[in-house]
Amino acid sequence: VIVEGRNFGFTRSGVRRQITIRWAEEKQNWSVAQWSKVLFSDESNFCISFGNQGPRVWRKNGEAHTARCLKSSVKFPQSVLIWGAMSSAGVGPLCFIKSRVNAAVYQEILEHFMLPSTDKLYIPMY
């Protein structure tokens, strides 16, 4: 069984919420053996330059524009999109994605990273 990454913990509404609840209910009584056949995957964006941390001001009254109270920021901080997978047997290789993810890019990721991960992590393909 291969399960694409899920956004557990994020608020969902409507049909998507019901699909997620149904998915969780179907698997709530799975055994360790069943879960050991699952490969979880997801992608995440990581900021690699200073400036995407949001506004923070540390000052006392009357120090609004004191140099030590100001924080520089970057208008367009550099970031990297990374795809990865894990199972009960370990983790697969990371894929550093350099372009927007469309159907063709996602298919490349699955072919060159997900499938080798299933081989490495001993997950049988049905």
**pTM score over 0.75:** no
- Answer with the residue of higher pLDDT: 71 or 93: 93
Q: What is the mean pLDDT of residues 44-68?
A: 72
For residue 1, what pLDDT is reported? 41
Task: Look at residues 89, 115, 92, 86 and name the one whose alpha carbon lies nearest to residue 32.
Answer: 89
Domains of the chain in sequence order: 2-121 (3.30.420.10)
How far apart CA 6 and CA 8 sit, in angstroms, is 6
pLDDT at 126: 54
Tokens 């609840």, residue located:
21
pLDDT at 57 exceeding the cut of 80: no
- pLDDT tens digit string along 77-106? 788 999 999 999 999 999 999 888 899 999
